[in-house]
Amino acid sequence: MGLDLFGGRRLKMGIWGLGRGSAFINSARALGIDIVAGCDFDDHVRNKFHEICPEAVLTADEDEFFKMDFEAVLVSTYCPNHAADTMKALRMGKHVLSEVTAFFTPAQGVALVEEVEKRGLVYNLAENYPFTKINMYLARLYKQGIFGELAYAEFDYVHGGVNPCASYLDGTPVVPGNQLHHWRGWLNYHYYCTHSLGPIMIISGLRPEKVTAFPEDVFCKGTVHGKGRKVDGIVPNLCAFAPSLIQMSNGSVVRNLMGGSVSDSHQKRFFGTKAAYDGKYLHIGGAERGPRLDIEPQWDEMGEAAEKAGHGGGDFWELYYFARQIITGEKAPWDIYAASDVTLAGIQALRSALNDGEPMEIPDFRRKEVRDKYRNDDWMAKHIDPKKIFPDDQDTSITNDFASCCKELSPAVVLVRSALDGIKVYDAVKKENKIIIIEKVKELRTKLAEIQNTYKRARKIADAYPLSQGGEALLEKLELGEETKIMDSAALLKELDDFLIHA
């Protein structure tokens, strides 16, 4: 039955976009929110959603969806569609919880802000990272004055990606297989700045006012990308770093780091004028000789239910704040103006990067005179076309294997590099970690024939279209995966066996 948070008042909710939307089902049940309707054009996604939420009526037709009886909607459709889809939902009289980011161009942002103001309905941004246990604790400390005033902060949202753009969110290779995912295949990480900047905004209560960033032309090996800003003017997708420096409304500076790399990083450092948090320790005392405390924060109320939700509890809290505002009128943290602030920070950062780091204002869309300056601003960075990573005259009997091949190639290369690099650093690693390398070497030996077959599939596609974006990605991946060494079975097996004998 869930928690009785609002005096027995239950909220009827629909979900538009059932891939990401499916992550909210358990939180909704815990909060006493009834998911009664769902919409997605993809049969596979709808069927998977029905398995975990059979009580919802599902459809592929968005107009049919909005005829159903619910008062609020989660918009978790394709990222570039959020603004248009949110405005449609508002015009249909629905309160909206929109997935990030809120919009994709400043002009869309102006239209969205004014639609929210016109309709008088609740709009919240579904930015969840501020509502992890540690970030909510830091926000409480800040409100209590323990940190003093924010002086500087660094927050990361970096993923160790190995070409995830060739699969859907559930890991299924995209169809047709000669393409990339619709938006993940071209999205630049500056657009996805909310998970790192968002917590700083909520903790401190400050808004970002100005941003500067430099272009990144070094990409993760084996990802589909353009030649880079200086060659073809195409900004990288989720295969490169996207750092920016942001000045906040009190004059403090924030280093905001997003990116795709060989390793995940969700580090955070928060420096106030009285105290600091370095990612592990809370430093109090107002000076370097003060105590350094290893903290273990506790949840606010309802923590047990939040713990079961996705993204470290964030999905629970953002849904709770949304429902609370609809039912009680109490304002949630992510209204349309805060949503605009954090979204524009990413758009303007990318703009700065394409102008050699020129500082850009982050306009305050609370003010109509500011909105007027951006009302017709449809700027968008040049990017690859995810549907055209192979030539128009391609042989699809070859290229349609690209997505499936990538799904198998990526973990194969990770295993190869883990084993071969592990051998090189074995003598230096701590004793308790040596077993990790030994097990990786054994696994590579066992799976060698399977990996060789995957390499052959990738080589077939790459040899057929070596100058295409897809072919170049596979060639990079094969180089990263030591193709020549892997295909020489006798020499490799001898090297692996010699290591295992002496390890």
Burial class (CB in 10 A: 0-12, 13-18, 19+), 270: buried
My answer on whether 169 and 105 are in the same domain is no
* pLDDT given at position 301: 78
Cβ atoms of 250 and 242 within 8 Å: the answer is: no
* pLDDT given at position 478: 97
pLDDT in tens, 145-161: 999 999 999 999 998 76
* pLDDT given at position 414: 95
- Domain CATH number, residue 223: 3.30.360.10
Residue with tokens 């107002």: 286
Q: Is position 205 within any domain?
A: yes
* pLDDT confidence tier of residue 440, bands split at 50, 70 and 90: very high
Cβ atoms of 412 and 454 within 8 Å: the answer is: yes
* pLDDT given at position 252: 98
My answer on whether 230 and 178 are in the same domain is yes
Measuring CA to CA, which residue among 315, 362, 372, 358 is closest to residue 340?
Answer: 362
For residues 234 and 250, give the distance between their C-alpha atoms in angstroms, rounded to a whole number: 35
Question: Which of 125, 147, 170 lies at the terminal end of a domain, its last residue?
Answer: 125
My answer on whether 366 and 468 are in the same domain is no
Other beta carbons within 10 Å of 420: 20
pLDDT in tens, 64-80: 999 999 999 999 999 99
- What average pLDDT does the segment 371-394 reach? 96
My answer on whether 15 and 46 are in the same domain is yes
Number of domains in the chain: 3
Structural domain boundaries, residue 406: 396-502
- Select the more confidently predicted residue: 171 or 390: 390
pTM of the model: 0.95
Residue with tokens 């009128």: 329
CA atoms within 13 A on the CB side of 82: 27
Question: Which of 70, 98, 125 lies at the terminal end of a domain, its last residue?
Answer: 125
My answer on whether 109 and 187 are in the same domain is no
Q: Is the pLDDT of residue 424 over 90?
A: yes
pLDDT in tens, 240-271: 999 999 999 999 999 999 999 889 999 999 99
* pLDDT given at position 33: 95
What is residue 234's DSSP assignment? P
Cβ atoms of 229 and 217 within 8 Å: the answer is: yes
Q: Is position 245 within any domain?
A: yes
Q: Quote the tokens at residue 371.
A: 């909105």
Cβ atoms of 292 and 283 within 8 Å: the answer is: yes
Question: Which of 344, 374, 404 lies at the terminal end of a domain, its last residue?
Answer: 374
- What average pLDDT does the segment 178-203 reach? 95
